[in-house]
Amino acid sequence: MTMFGTNQLLVDKHVEFIQNLDKKQDGLEYWMTEHLRVSGIYWGLVALFLLDRPQALDHEQIIAYVRGCQNADGGFGGHTHHDSHLLYTMSSVQILSMLNALDQIDGKK
């Protein structure tokens, strides 16, 4: 038994926490970390897959957002209108792969 009264993983609480991360847009932290948005989506999805709750986030909305982060040079930025970076390109490809949406990458860019 832990100090929280249980030794079980509270999956629903973890899922709720991840779902609520993008809803707290009124704080300075949200806007000061916009360059980390793609990484946050990646790690949130990884956690949801590990918790066996991959459908807890709207996949179509995620795909549309990630596609919006792709730049004319073919790479992806950490947020829309950000410069391409290898890290965010890798995370974007991983996100699209997890969501079976690799065909959404614009290979002509």
What are 10-45's pLDDT values in tens digits?
A: 999 999 999 998 888 888 888 888 889 999 999 999
Q: Please, how many CA atoms are within 13 Å of residue 12, restricted to the half-sphere of its CB?
A: 0
| Amino acid 4: pLDDT | 64
The answer on pLDDT for 96 being more than 60 is yes
| Amino acid 2: pLDDT | 59
Q: What is the pTM of this model?
A: 0.88
- Asked if 93 and 100 count as a contact pair (C-beta separation under 8 A), the reply is no
| Amino acid 1: pLDDT | 52
* Beta partners for residue 70, in sequence order: 76
Query: What is the mean predicted confidence (pLDDT) over 66-87?
Result: 97
- Asked if 45 and 39 count as a contact pair (C-beta separation under 8 A), the reply is no
